[in-house]
Amino acid sequence: MEHNEQEQRKGSAKEFQESLDQLQNLLEENQIKDKPEKELEIENDSQKPATEKPRKFDLAEWEDAIADIEQYFEKKNEQTDGI
């Protein structure tokens, strides 16, 4: 049983980290939108190929990230309630 709990914790931690990574990517994308145009042009020229366009803000991605975080906390609460 202890092994199963460890596996659940590892899985939850992995899901949580993936959600945080998604959230970080979204925040970075939104931060880019807030920068002045001239700053963006300089960054785009030096960091991205000319064919790559910045992604648009996607509400569905935010909702998925929030759902993952909520799921993580629900699982965590279930585990602590069972102890």
pLDDT tens string 49-70: 556 666 666 788 888 888 999 9
Of 62, 54, 58, nearest to 34 (Cα)?
54
Q: Please check the confidence at residue 19 and state whether its pLDDT lies above 70.
A: yes
| Residue-level pLDDT at 25 | 83
Residues contacting residue 48 through CB under 8 Å, at least 6 positions apart = 54
In the block, tokens 């199963």 appear at: 4
Question: Encoding tokens for residue 79?
Answer: 């585990």
Count: domains in the chain: 1
Give me the domain span that covers residue 57: 2-81
